[in-house]
Chains A and B, each alone.
Chain A
Amino acid sequence: MLIPAVITTLVVVIGITDELTLQWQTTRAIVTGPLVGLLLGDLQTGLIVGATIEMMFLSNVIVGAAGIPDVTMASAIATALCIVSDVPQEVAITLAVPVAIFGQFMSTIRFSVLGVPLAHLADKPAAQGDVKGVLRTPVIGLIVLNLLYIVPTFIAVYFGADLVSAAVDKMPTELINAFGVGSNLLAAVGFAMLLTMLKSRKLLPVLFIGYVLAAFLNLSIIGTVIVALAAAVLYATFSKPEVEEVS
Chain B
Amino acid sequence: MEEKKWEPLSKKDLWKVFFRSYWIRTVNCPDRMQSLGLTCSITPVVEKYYPTKEERAEVMTRYLDEYFLTNPVMAEWIIGIVISIEEKIAQTGAITRDAVSGVKTALMGPLAAIGDGLYNGTLRPVIAGIACALALDGNPIAPILFLIVMAGVNVFIRWTGIFWGYRQGASFFTRLQESGMLKKLIEAASLVAFMVVGAFAATNVTVNLGISWVTEGTETVTTLQSVLDGIMPKCLPLGFTLFTWWLIEKKHLKPLLLIVLYLLGGILLYYLGILA
Chain A contacts to B: CB under 8 angstroms: 20-26, 28, 30-31, 33-35, 43-44, 47-48, 50-52, 54-56, 58-65, 69, 94, 97, 100-101, 104, 111-112, 115-116, 118-120, 122-123, 126-131, 134-135, 137-138, 141-142, 145, 174-175, 177-179, 181-200, 203-204, 206-216, 219-222, 224-225, 227-229, 231-233, 235-236, 239, 241-247
Contacts and interface: CB of A to CB of B under 8 A. Distances in A.
Interface string B2-36: 00000000000000000010110111111111011
Contacts of A58: 125, 128-129
B73 interface: yes
Chain B contact patch, size range: 35 or more
Given A185-B262, A190-B125, A198-B122, A34 B64 contact: no
A30 B39 contact: no
A54 B128 contact: yes
Contacts of A174: 271
B143 A31 contact: yes
Question: Considering the complex of A and B, which 5 residue pairs feature the smallest CB-CB distances, nearest first?
Answer: A210-B198, A182-B266, A129-B53, A129-B56, A197-B121
Given A21-B23, A111-B30, A206 B154 contact: no
Interface in B165-212: 177-180, 182-208
Given A181-B206, A188-B241, 15 more contacts: A22-B154, A48-B138, A112-B30, A123-B61, A126-B61, A178-B271, A181-B270, A184-B207, A210-B198, A211-B199, A220-B133, A221-B129, A221-B134, A225-B192, A228-B191
A50 to B, nearest CB: 6
B146 interface: yes
Contact of B196 (A20, A141, A210): A210
Nearest to B136: A51
A213 B23 contact: no
30 contacts: A21-B23, A24-B147, A34-B142, A43-B140, A47-B135, A47-B143, A51-B136, A56-B259, A100-B259, A112-B30, A115-B27, A122-B36, A123-B61, A126-B64, A131-B47, A131-B56, A131-B60, A184-B207, A185-B266, A191-B201, A194-B197, A196-B249, A197-B117, A197-B193, A204-B194, A211-B199, A224-B196, A236-B188, A239-B187, A246-B113
B269 interface: yes
B122 A221 contact: no
A63 B37 contact: no
Interface in B79-123: 109-110, 113-114, 116-117, 120-122
B264 interface: yes
Contacts of A21: 22-23, 26
B47 A195 contact: no
A224 B195 contact: yes
A120 B188 CA distance: 42
A92 to B, nearest CB: 13
A34 B198 contact: no
Nearest to B258: A189
Contacts of B20: 135
